[in-house]
Chains A and B, each alone.
Chain A
Amino acid sequence: MQTLEVKNIVKTFKLSKKQQKLEKTKEKLKVAVNDLSFTAYPGEIFGLLGPNGAGKTTCLRAISTLIKPDSGDIIVGGSSVVKDSMDVRGKIGFLTSELKLEDHFTPSYLFTYFGKLHGIDEELIEERKTVLFSRFGIDNFREVKVGDLSTGMKQKASIAISLVHNPEFVIFDEPTNGLDVLTARSVTDYLVELKNEGKTVILSTHILSVVDKLCDKVGIIINGKMKICDTLENVKKSHPSNDLEEIFFDLIEEDELGGNA
């Protein structure tokens, strides 16, 4: 089954003294993700919402196998991030601002390089390159060094490279950051296409309107905990206003009143 199941994952980080001061706490450990669970299915876009520091990125990093959960597991298309991390990495296309491209190389070179590391033969890499570069308007700067590209151009190149192996699971963290309206639209359109192709898409974003337009399911994380997780329709129905923004702010307020419990 091509589902992505996050099962009760917990991730804690040690806080340095500097971080303790910044967070105004004497606790040496910070629980970044606390017993988080959700499932994303093929043919749907799962939107992950939450304020800064809520644990979204930690969750995505755990899915991408960059970090291991302290407990719990994530099953990506039948492979465990804990036990079969290599398999998981072959199945996912991961995009986050944390993953940078080397300034010295061109988008074209890096696309081929990462394609090879994903075990794709050169012919197929070239085919994918033609499709994705034209789709995201990369052709004009395909042979320009990444270091000489604008933020938006870099983001486009990163998106194309993350999809080089045509992954079944697409995990995008703020994919429209730094993009102009036109390109942002082409990215969101492409996500819908991927969904229609039966891919499992997880989208983390701050932009509520994007969630409203694109997502089939929504999970709102606050302080490491999943506060609500359901179809967009059901989430909206749960609040008299039927407005995602209102629901989001109410949940934050609720959490603050509850002393972050």
Chain B
Amino acid sequence: MKNIATVFRKEFYRVVSDKRLIFTTILLPGLAIYLMYSFLGGAIGNEFEDIQSHEMIVYVGNVPDDFSDYLDTLDLNVIYTDYVASEHDEILDLILIGEVDLLLRFPTTFDSDIDGGILSDVLTYYNPGEKYSEFSYGVYMTELNTYRQSVAYDRYGEAFYVFTTDINNDEHIIIDEDKAIGQGFAMLLPMLIIMFLFSGAMSIGPDSIAGEKERGTIATLLVTPVKRSEIAIGKVLSLSVISLFSASSSFVGIILSLPKLLQGAGEEISMNIYSMGDFVMLFTVLLATVLVIVGIISIISAYAKTIKEASMLILPFYFLSIVMGMSTMFSGEAHSNIFIYLVPLYNSINIIISILTFEVVATQYILTIVSSLVYVVIFIIILNRLFESEKIMFSK
């Protein structure tokens, strides 16, 4: 136990006493994610704002007075120009190059057609390849639909509607808002958490074991009267703690950047919906998961001859973990099959979803924690064997 603590402290000190490693392993992941997501959110927000603040240039022809009056009440940011038939082709060219956003033409006989019950065709011209034009088209189509309904109502009265929906139904939307937000987290976070934990462990695991083999320092450790299993446990524990720091940094980065990322959508999302109990459960799952991940990475690193080889061999496992995370991303629902909770990492992803959506089943949670710990013990036994194998430890 004492030796485990000694190895743990030294491995931990190795990282925290190295400014470069602190920056690259602990600060950089969070900072990079924060900047990247904030930039992305900022870009989306700017685009949205840009379109909103754009002054639409719309050519109009024969607009009926009542529709014109209605448009005036809407306070749209628009400049109207009267349509002249002789300039038709020029206007279309201007729409094509994005100088004009929309041409809206009512037939000259529009009012008489409406009065006479004749189907009248309103013409619109726009360019879906231009963002302002597409936006203007959307705005005017909405208003034309409103106008169409008002004209139809004038003609047919209430009979026009045939039936209505939910005019007086206040309970129309039944939603548990916390759960809806939780569902959002459940779709986004499990994959990111596994990715963060894996990439954190990947950044230091190969150096700690394969690197020591490559540099010849592992032999110095192996001639001390310390059990190989104590070396294995000490290394796995310290790598796990550092990986957790690294993953926490990424997690903080994403939480801080969420408001900026979602500003365009105008949604408000907060982790406040979860209780302390939920966070404790989440933390225990993360701890069990990081131990499994570090166990896998340590075994590969002990097997590999060099850091480079270890990094290459770890990649397929990293991709596999991302695929596992992505497989649940679209459903945002945890599996109910109990055997799923015996599959390493996949069990963690599913139980994280359960926690985030407030649907934890006790047996599934316990199975995840216990099976993960059993895998960690198996990994440490394998690691111990690898440390004992002269072929593995001293192969060149």
Do A and B interact?
A: yes
The residue among A65, A67, A104 with the most chain B CB atoms within 10 A of its own CB is A104
Chain A positions 94-147 with a Cβ under 8 Å from a chain B Cβ:
94, 98-105, 113-114, 116-119
A72 at the interface (CB under 8 A from B): no
Contact B390 A118 (CB under 8 A): no
Q: How far is the CA of A135 from the CA of B10 in the complex (A)?
A: 26
Number of interface residues of A (CB under 8 A): 26
B394 surroundings in chain A (CB, below 8 A): 66-67
Chain A positions 215-240 with a Cβ under 8 Å from a chain B Cβ:
none
A90 at the interface (CB under 8 A from B): yes
A204 at the interface (CB under 8 A from B): no
Interface Cβ pair total, 8 Å cutoff:
62
For this complex, 16 residue pairs linking A to B, each with C-beta atoms less than 8 Å apart, are A66-B222, A66-B223, A66-B390, A68-B390, A99-B219, A99-B223, A100-B217, A100-B220, A102-B217, A104-B14, A104-B17, A105-B10, A113-B10, A117-B226, A119-B225, A161-B220
A92 at the interface (CB under 8 A from B): yes
Q: How far is the CA of A101 from the CA of B224 in the complex (A)?
A: 13
Contact A64 B215 (CB under 8 A): no
B66 at the interface (CB under 8 A from A): no
Q: How far is the CA of A68 from the CA of B388 in the complex (A)?
A: 10
Least distance between A255 CB and chain B CB atoms (Å): 27
Contact B390 A67 (CB under 8 A): yes
Q: How far is the CA of A104 from the CA of B219 in the complex (A)?
A: 17
- Picked from B18, B222, B225, the residue with its CB within 8 Å of the CB of A90 is B225
Q: How far is the CA of A206 from the CA of B355 in the complex (A)?
A: 67
- Picked from B3, B10, B220, B226, the residue with its CB within 8 Å of the CB of A99 is B220
The residue among B7, B224, B394 with the most chain A CB atoms within 10 A of its own CB is B224
Q: How far is the CA of A90 from the CA of B223 in the complex (A)?
A: 8
Interface of B, secondary structure class, is: helix
Contact B225 A100 (CB under 8 A): no
A87 at the interface (CB under 8 A from B): yes
Q: A89-B224, A100-B216 are in contact. List 16 more A-B contacts (CB 8 A).
A: A66-B219, A66-B222, A66-B223, A66-B393, A66-B394, A67-B394, A86-B227, A89-B225, A99-B216, A99-B223, A100-B215, A100-B219, A101-B217, A117-B3, A117-B6, A118-B225
Which residue of chain B is the closest to A158 with respect to CB atoms? B220
A102 surroundings in chain B (CB, below 8 A): 14, 212, 215, 217
Which residue of chain A is the closest to B230 with respect to CB atoms? A117
- B1-22 interface code vs A (CB 8 A; 1 in, 0 out): 0110011001000100110000
A161 surroundings in chain B (CB, below 8 A): 220
Least distance between A89 CB and chain B CB atoms (Å): 4
Q: How far is the CA of A208 from the CA of B352 in the complex (A)?
A: 68
Please list the residues of chain B having a beta carbon within 8 angstroms of any beta carbon in chain A. 2-3, 6-7, 10, 14, 17-18, 212, 215-217, 219-227, 390, 393-394
Contact B225 A87 (CB under 8 A): yes
Q: How far is the CA of A99 from the CA of B213 in the complex (A)?
A: 10
Q: How far is the CA of A45 from the CA of B263 in the complex (A)?
A: 78
Please list the residues of chain A having a beta carbon within 8 angstroms of any beta carbon in chain B. 64-68, 86-87, 89-90, 92, 94, 98-105, 113-114, 116-119, 161
B216 surroundings in chain A (CB, below 8 A): 98-100
Given the known interface contacts A100-B216, A101-B217, A104-B14, the answer about A64 and B6 at a Cβ–Cβ threshold of 8 Å is: no
Least distance between B25 CB and chain A CB atoms (Å): 14
Least distance between B200 CB and chain A CB atoms (Å): 20
The 9 closest A-B pairs by CB, nearest first: A90-B225, A100-B216, A117-B224, A89-B225, A99-B220, A67-B390, A116-B6, A102-B217, A100-B217
- Picked from B2, B7, B220, the residue with its CB within 8 Å of the CB of A101 is B220
B393 surroundings in chain A (CB, below 8 A): 66
Which residue of chain B is the closest to A100 with respect to CB atoms? B216
A99 surroundings in chain B (CB, below 8 A): 216, 219-220, 223
A66 surroundings in chain B (CB, below 8 A): 219, 222-223, 390, 393-394
B219 surroundings in chain A (CB, below 8 A): 66, 98-100
Which residue of chain B is the closest to A88 with respect to CB atoms? B225
Which residue of chain A is the closest to B21 with respect to CB atoms? A104
B215 surroundings in chain A (CB, below 8 A): 100, 102-103
Contact B223 A92 (CB under 8 A): yes
Least distance between A16 CB and chain B CB atoms (Å): 10
Which residue of chain B is the closest to A91 with respect to CB atoms? B225
Contact B225 A86 (CB under 8 A): yes
Q: How far is the CA of A114 from the CA of B222 in the complex (A)?
A: 11
Q: How far is the CA of A99 from the CA of B221 in the complex (A)?
A: 9
Q: How far is the CA of A105 from the CA of B17 in the complex (A)?
A: 9
Q: How far is the CA of A116 from the CA of B14 in the complex (A)?
A: 17
Contact A113 B6 (CB under 8 A): yes
Q: How far is the CA of A124 from the CA of B222 in the complex (A)?
A: 22
Q: How far is the CA of A101 from the CA of B2 in the complex (A)?
A: 22
B220 surroundings in chain A (CB, below 8 A): 99-101, 114, 161
Q: How far is the CA of A68 from the CA of B216 in the complex (A)?
A: 19
A117 surroundings in chain B (CB, below 8 A): 3, 6-7, 221, 224-226
Contact A104 B18 (CB under 8 A): yes
Q: How far is the CA of A257 from the CA of B394 in the complex (A)?
A: 34
Q: How far is the CA of A103 from the CA of B14 in the complex (A)?
A: 10
B3 surroundings in chain A (CB, below 8 A): 116-117
